[in-house]
Amino acid sequence: MSIVIGVSGGSGSGKTSFVSALKEKLGDSVCFISFDNYYKPRELQQIDSNGVKNFDLPNSMDIESFLEDLALLKAGAIINKKEYTFNNANIEPEIITIQPKEVIIVEGLFIYHYPRLKEQFDTKIFIEAKDEIKIIRRIKRDQVERNYPLEDVLYRYEHHVIPSYKKYIEPYISDMDIVVCNNRSYDKGLEIVRVYISSLLT
């Protein structure tokens, strides 16, 4: 039976960087699956009162497909999933192949919000950072990686990201097994999590 570990946190908290660092330290001994690759198609996303598509809602995700793939991974099947590129025309999406492992690490924004998914986690990790730090990281990421203009990034952060964090992400901090502070660095927290996961593998 696979052990499933969740890693979540607000947008700009550094959860994706944290998971990337875990990959470097743990290598092929564990597998990683990103909830970011399970957004519904752009045409199915909810539109706010100003006509802007809101990707920062739980219903923007294809939770059914994700649960199906997670179940397959736990059963020992290989998953092939098309990368979601956040509508960035400068990026050609790849097909991501995920090999099943004893430990499965799930990373994503709303992973603790869905009861059927939350109950899958043997360990729940949360990456936290101050709001002013998260917005700076969000601006840098969305302009460089996702080709979003600054005005769009700021609008979405104020009207979509912050309300969503307060309603669908922050309330679950008290349920976490491990909270990693990432205002300056997550190095200490990363080492704690690495040692913990390594102990599971032995």
* One pLDDT digit (tens) per residue for the chain, 202 residues: 799 999 999 988 999 899 999 999 998 899 999 999 999 988 899 999 999 999 999 999 999 999 999 999 999 999 999 888 766 656 778 899 999 999 999 999 999 999 999 999 999 999 999 988 998 888 877 766 667 778 888 898 899 999 999 999 999 999 999 999 999 999 999 999 999 999 999 7
- Tell me what pLDDT residue 202 has: 75
One-character DSSP codes across 37-105: GGBPPGGGSEE-TTS-EE--SGGGB-HHHHHHHHHHHHTT--EEEEPP-TT-TTS---EEEE---SEEE
- Tell me what pLDDT residue 160 has: 94
Separation between Cα atoms, residue 143 and residue 108, nearest integer Å: 20
pTM: 0.91
**Six token digits for residue 191:** 């080492």
